[in-house]
Structure 1
Amino acid sequence: MAAFIQTVLGPLPPSAVGRILHHEHLGALVPGPWLSGGAPIGADETEYAQEDVIERAVGALATLAGYGIDTVVDLSPYGVVGRDESGDSVLLLQEISRRSGVHIVAGSSVYLEPFSPQWTHELTVTELTERFVRDVTVGIGTTGVRAGILGEQATGLDEITAHEEKCLRAAARAQVETGVALVTHTTHGTMAMEQVGILREESADLSRVVIGHMDIQPDLDTLVRVLDTGVGIAFDTIGKQHWDFVLEPLPAEPAEGEYAKRAYFRSDLARARNLVALTERGYASQLHLSEDLTGAEVYLNPETHGRWGYGYLAAVFLPLAIDEGLDPALVDQLLGANPRALLTQGTA
């Protein structure tokens, strides 16, 4: 089989793909029904909401060509950040790709337990594996749009629940069966080594695994230990310096007044310094970059995502990293060669 990258509009030769944002959520740029988890009433409202999602994404992608970025990977799990519970909203990604001219690769995964659709709780690990395999080989939901990668498969903050372990094992087994790459979600960089342990038990190809959100993990030695297992890691929340973490979805009728959440800060300067340190230690081929930008968090970061949108990584962060010592010759590897190899299926 000739090598290809599976996009939402069909397969492409890897040579047709340039620089890549490897972890984004194109359907979650506005706080509409797919982001909030609700649903509008009536067909007209549904059509309007879908058009709003499409137009906002097309506009947001418009700046990327100037930085040589022509491909975006949408790693939205079932039921959150732009993907509905059935997966059928992946059709919006096709229209976004057509209008923007940007190649889009869709992932397939299940998010944290409190946010997982009920049907994912009801499936056995074998049944969920079959679902993931079908998403890759036949199409997501009823769309016929094939996933080109598995992810972002999630585990919690300082824990992996039984449900999350089941889903991670299913994703690993689907990776073994299909050969596609697998990207995980760590919550604030925790449980990375535990994820690797589970993936090893399932005989996953660790060279085609990326452990996500490790730029939030401040300890460089921890990053090195994870990389030494053979997996890649992602610096994929670049620009998200401030963020809120709500432990589980709010009830439909929350109580009046204050509710608990956690607020975090992680500077891009610290991210840049860790990125430089890892490249200097020889890990450049295992690193992946993106922004994980969503409309719900742009307001918390007015000087990064709020001002620059998707262009922030290339326009601001990479020059910062170069100022901190990043070899400019590595930019094409970090944004091009690394994620391109991850997305490539088949053989040359």
Structure 2
Amino acid sequence: MNTVLGPIAAEELGFVAVHEHIGYGMPGSELDTRWWKTPEQRYEETVPKLRQFAEHSQPYGGPTFVDATGICNGRDVDYYKSLSAKTGVHIVAATGFVGGDTALRFFADAPVDYLMRQFVHEITVGIGDTGSLAGIIKVGVSRGFRMKELDLRIYRAAARAALLTGVPIFTHLAVDVEPALAVFAEEGLPLDRVLFGHADDGVSQGKVNEAAILGGGGRIGFDTFGYDLELPDPPFWGRHRRERLEHFLRLVGEGHVDQVLASADANCSPLGWPGVKGHTVNYIFEQLIPDLQEEGVDEATIYRIFVTNPADFLTLTTN
């Protein structure tokens, strides 16, 4: 498994927050003077959250934070390396794009083969001059909940890169999934190498074909835990806490525990927007796990969701 400080064995991952952000922003947000932050400010916001995450994770064998910030969205791998060394948290960096509409024009105009080679390079040679290898590929659905031609081009490039390198793919949104499933089938990528993300957010409900994903062996991400409509100023993608929890418990109860992963999609130090006040990766420990325990979910199942499942998903596969 590739982390920003080098490869580690799957058993070293410990507790995995599989879809989070060190600092996410839209392309160009790092140049906006209103929200631009000095390195000192970013460290001040981020280090305490990661240290708390590391402390919470110790009973599970240690902490792993998968950063879902793709190319063009504020990814800063040298910063990640510093944070990992300072806090003891394994950080996994992503190649790929959050969605076609976040790809700068240079990439948006590129053919599939170029995009595939970009992803493979970042996985096998390194991201820029950092020397760090990406451990996962990010793809997404553009705004409007429909796959566009560029999205499909990125999905196809990601599938080919995943097959060549053995790294998995995770998606931003699990809507309009049929075209994605067709691309993965055409490229011969097994669906257990794909985590279809944000299937639990408020705006995606009624648009996610769970049966097609699960029936094909894919994985479903419940990775917006904590974005609750009960918050004083909830985000537009929020959902009632109880409704999201019951949705998750339904899939677990139906026997899909090995196909679900959970995370908070929190932003340690947002770029270009204020973020959601009080929401951090530690919601997983402070609220979600107690909620699961209260509902009778045993420790063995919690361990599968946060340790076993993500380790199996993140492990590099060979063909």
Q: Give the structure 2 partner of residue 74 of structure 1.
A: 67
SS of residue paired to 2:167: coil
CA contact (8 A) 1:279 1:326 kept: no
Moved more, 95-104 or 322-331: 322-331
CA apart distance, 1:64:
1.3
Does residue 53 in structure 1 map to residue 42 in structure 2?
yes
Q: Distance in 1 between matches of 2:90 and 2:53?
A: 11
The equivalent of 1:265 in structure 2 is 238
More divergent stretch after superposition (170-179 vs 113-122): 113-122
Contact 1:109 1:150 (C-alpha < 8 Å) held by counterparts: yes
Distance in 1 of aligned mates of 2:133 and 2:124:
6
Query: Number of matched residues?
Result: 303
* Structure-2 change in CA distance of 1:142 and 1:300 (3 Å): closer
Identity across the alignment (%): 29
Asked if the contact 1:63–1:310 (Cα under 8 Å) also holds between the matched residues in 2, the reply is: no
- CA RMSD, Structure 1 to Structure 2 (Å): 2.7
Single out whichever of 200-209 and 90-99 deviates more from structure 2. 200-209
Change (3 A) 1:300 1:93: closer
Equivalent of 2:288, from 308, 317, 333? 317
282-291 vs 313-322, greater mean Cα deviation:
313-322
Q: 2:152 aligns with which of 160, 165, 187?
A: 165
Q: Shift of residue 321 of structure 1?
A: 2.8
CA displacement 1:13-58 (0-9 Å, x = unmatched): 2222210100111124xx8x98824167xxxxx9x72333234221
Question: Take 2:243 and 2:237, find their aligned partners in 1: how far apart are those partners?
Answer: 14
Match of 1:10?
6
Query: Does the 8 Å contact 2:27/2:104 carry over to 1?
Result: no
Who is 1:235 aligned against? 222
Tell me by how many angstroms 1:267 deviates. Answer: 1.7
Kindly indicate whether the alpha-carbon contact (under 8 Å) linking 2:165 and 2:316 is maintained by their aligned counterparts in 1: no
What is the 5 A alignment of 1:213-232?
213-216=198-201, 217-219=204-206, 222-232=209-219
Task: Indicate the larger mover: 55-64 or 71-80.
Answer: 55-64
Residue in structure 2 matching 1:38, options 7, 31, 44? 31
Partner of 1:118: 105
The 1:225/1:328 distance shift into structure 2, 3 A limit, reads farther
Would you say 1:148 and 2:135 are equivalent positions? yes
Q: State the alpha-carbon separation in 1 of the partners of residues 110 and 120 from structure 2.
A: 14
Describe the shift of the 1:191–1:65 C-alpha distance in structure 2 as closer, same or farther (beyond 3 A). same
Determine the C-alpha separation between the residues in 2 that align with 1:279 and 1:232: 12
Match of 1:279?
252
Determine which of 287, 300, 305 is the counterpart of 1:329. 300
Partner of 1:251: none
CA–CA distance in structure 2, aligned partners of residues 320 and 139 of structure 1: 40
- 1:137–1:146 contact (8 Å) kept in structure 2: yes
Structure 1: unaligned runs, 5 residues or longer: 41-45, 84-88, 244-261
Take 2:20 and 2:43, find their aligned partners in 1: how far apart are those partners?
15
Give 1:62's aligned residue. Answer: 51
Q: 1:106 to 1:296 in 2, by over 3 A?
A: closer
1:271-306 per-position Cα deviation (integer Å, ceiling 9, x unaligned):
21111111111111111111111255997755xxx1
Unaligned 5+ residue runs, structure 2? Answer: none
In 2: Cα distance, 1:325 partner to 1:286 partner? 19
Q: Tell me how far apart the structure 2 counterparts of residues 17 and 300 of structure 1 sit (CA, whole Å).
A: 27
- Matches of 1:34 and 1:49, distance apart in 2: 18
Is the CA contact 2:100–2:154 (under 8 Å) kept in the aligned structure 1?
Answer: no
Superposed CA offset, 1:88-146 (max 9, x none)? x2111100101111011111111323321122123211011001011100011232210
